[in-house]
Amino acid sequence: MAPRVAIIGLASDFGCQVQVTNMEDHLLDVLGLMDLSYWQLASSGHLPDEYDVAVIEGAVTTADHAEALLKARETAAVVIAIGSCAITGGIPALAGTADYDARYGVVYGDGVAVARGRQLPAPVSSVIEVDYHVPGCPIDPAEFVTVLSRAIMGLKDDMPRDPMCAICKTQENVCFLDRGRACLGLVTRTGCTAKCVTLGRPCTGCRGISPEANIPAARLVYAEKGLDPLELDRLFDLYNAAREVVV
């Protein structure tokens, strides 16, 4: 029997799930390998009681989210986190860098009960163990298909570990740091083929901080290039504000 896959969304803009709908060129690679039992974005049905693979998008921001994750981990043999929100806390985690409760008041007004048991936004891995990861904001459909295929076939997670700069050089890009512009390519996890930089935009770190990154050395590089080393830490927060809770 084909593995039953459920795609579940937490706190996000559902951009990564939209990317899944854009993977027409890759669908034939996986459709015959799985049974798509539930897809929150594309289905009006309810999450089934039984499924084999849970694909999770979004950050954890409420007690309901945490309970849903615990249930998914108990039910599914495999859990895949997709996108920055699920893997590092992403954009939602920015709200946790100041008075979180006050932010709700600014948006919804004082005394409004918007969400039961709201909590500081955090990645999926702060609640349950994650087996596979598809980083990025949004994810790349081809990478998602590759990781999903690896999960279905029982192959180990193979998320890239090296910083992006080496790949950027193979694309023959002119370094933004040499032009006096801040870029996180020297500390960000590779795997995106440096798409943003190739298109003329500095890396903003959406794939998370590379485990091989040398942060103190990166600060020295910033200083050598005439940039404020503290800017490196400030830029981290765009997608990695909850990095201290990542396991």
| pLDDT range class, residue 166, cuts 50, 70, 90 | confident
The pTM (predicted TM-score) of the whole model is 0.91
Terminal-residue alpha carbon distance, the chain: 33
Contact 144, 192 (CB under 8 A): no
For the chain, the farthest-separated pair of C-alpha atoms sits apart, in whole angstroms, at 59
| pLDDT range class, residue 31, cuts 50, 70, 90 | low
Computed on alpha carbons and rounded to an integer, the radius of gyration of the chain in Å comes to 19
For the CA atoms of 30, 194, 198, 57, what is the dihedral angle to 10 degrees? 50
| pLDDT range class, residue 245, cuts 50, 70, 90 | very low
- 28: three-class secondary structure by DSSP: helix
Which domains does the chain possess?
Answer: 4-153 (3.40.50.700), 165-245 (no CATH)
Over residues 53-65, the pLDDT tens digits come to: 999 999 999 999 9
Contact 209, 240 (CB under 8 A): yes
Over residues 138-158, the pLDDT tens digits come to: 999 889 989 998 998 899 999
